[in-house]
Amino acid sequence: MALVPAQGAAQTAAGCQFVLGFKALHDMDPADVGDCTDNQSFASNGDAQQHTTKGLMAWRKADNWTAFTNGYQTWINGPQGLVNRLNTERFSWEGDQSGGTVITSSSASGSPAASTPSIDPTHLPLGDGHYLQSAKSGYIFSCQTSFTGGGAFANGPWIHDNTWDSTGKIAVSGQVPWPDHSFSMTSDGTTRHIVTNDLPNHTTGIFPVSSSDRASHYDRNPNSIRAQSLTYDLPANPTPAAQPACLGMGAIGVMLSGVVFYNGFDAGGRDAGAHEIQDVCEGHPDQSGTYHYHSMSPCVDDSGSGPSKLIGYAFDGFGIFGPRGDDGRELTDADLDECHGRTSTIMWDGASVSMYHYVATHEFPYTLGCFRGAAPRQMGPGQGQAPNGGGGQGFGPGGGGRGPNGGGPQGDGQGQGFPFPPPFGGFGR
């Protein structure tokens, strides 16, 4: 069973309660499990589940064990009592051995976690203001260096001085399916042709954010998710450029879920993964209705053990892979170059090749720090030509530009217009 946490997506519900195995697990570790937000229900596969303020509890029919996950680690009331492991691991006695490295209970009994993670999700570095006009590891080489604001209007308690706690961040509530999802990809060996309507192959939260949603205490996203008509022609065999190129505000690539991804900033030049309240798949819509990610979505498939899979493409043609390296170890910024990538052996169009690629990680800037390949000739929603060319496209109140510099005022996602100077085009939420 794939456990997708609610991460505090709703307030504690009046009258909800834990019963039987869920109560037993909660009472063993109430601090990690949190309070109930609904009552136990049954999924279509027969598993029981119940959302909490910290994640998701599940009784798994496959092995008859009760588990809880916060999206990064899983706690299981197993044959030796309460044990926990990383979500990239599986105990030898679990019924579902797919999607993880098998470990023994003796290597993971009790707390702390089964293995020491290379990244502490409770103290992730905050990327606020980490932009430069050149490329540097841990920063974004940004085409835009003036930020007006927008997005979340208040900091949540998971934000600290220079770090943030991803396990304590809430999410927009809801599980909305998108049956009209459409995504296709073809290649003639020279050009990779991608067509998507940007509707995801997974459920999303409910947007606009309801005033009854806990998320509205911090981020009242008023936008609705709407189908787009997006076509991208990318180089099928990209090569590094002589110099890295800056990232604009708006789409910089597309994931295999069919959803575009933006760089790691919100409209105020802050760490979007930390400040903006997205749904449990770490996505939300901008003022054009374009659903997008700013960080690595847990709903984009990267299951299995060993090296991570291809999960998407940047607009310079290079692939983006999940966070596990060749040995299955989770990579950090320290393992990557200034564009958030590396050269290693990957599977590329069915062949094993040594090739440059980007890596999606839990650390800012999450996906790309700059374009390593030639600056894209075409951009996605809310994106201006980078770094100096025309055709910038804007959405929202005030329009945006299609003139030589792609200038024009642009909405910040809250219904206001902000003039962004050329050469930058529109800007997505």
Task: Note the pLDDT tens digit of each residue in 278-333.
Answer: 999 999 999 999 999 999 999 999 987 789 999 999 999 999 999 999 888 899 99
For residue 24, the surrounding DSSP H or E stretch is helix 20-28
Is residue 180 within 8 A of residue 199, CB to CB? The reply is yes
3-state secondary structure of 215: helix
Structural tokens at position 330? 């989770």
CA distance 322 to 383: 24
CB 225 within 8 A of CB 209: no
For residues 1 and 23, the answer to whether their CB atoms sit within 8 Å is no
Q: Read off φ and ψ for residue 24, nearest 5 degrees.
A: -60, -45
pLDDT in tens, 263-289: 999 999 999 999 999 999 999 999 999
Extract the tokens encoding 237. 């065999």
Decide: 277 and 221 in contact? Cβ < 8 Å. Answer: yes
Determine which of 92-96, 226-230, 258-262 has the lowest per-residue pLDDT on average: 92-96
Asked whether residue 228 carries a pLDDT value surpassing 90, the answer given is yes
Task: Compute φ and ψ for 106, nearest 5 degrees.
Answer: -65, -25
Question: Which residue has better confidence, 418 or 346?
Answer: 346
CB of 150 closer than 8 Å to CB of 275: no
The rounded Cα 73 to chain-centroid distance in angstroms is 17
Degrees to nearest 5, angle at CA 301 with 296 and 304:
110
Q: For 76-120, how does the pLDDT look when each residue is reduced to its tens digit (9 = 90+)?
A: 887 767 888 888 778 777 766 565 566 554 444 333 333 334 688
Task: Provide the token pair at 71.
Answer: 């999206």
The chain-wide mean pLDDT, for the chain, equals: 81
> Amino acid identity of 32?
D
CA distances from 262 to 183, 188, 293, 352, 429 (A): 18, 27, 6, 28, 9
For residue 357, the cross-strand partners are: 342
Phi, psi for 127 (deg, rounded to 5): -95, 15
pTM of the model: 0.66
Q: In what order do the strands lie in the sheet with 73-78?
A: 41-42, 48-51, 56-60, 65-69, 73-78, 81-86
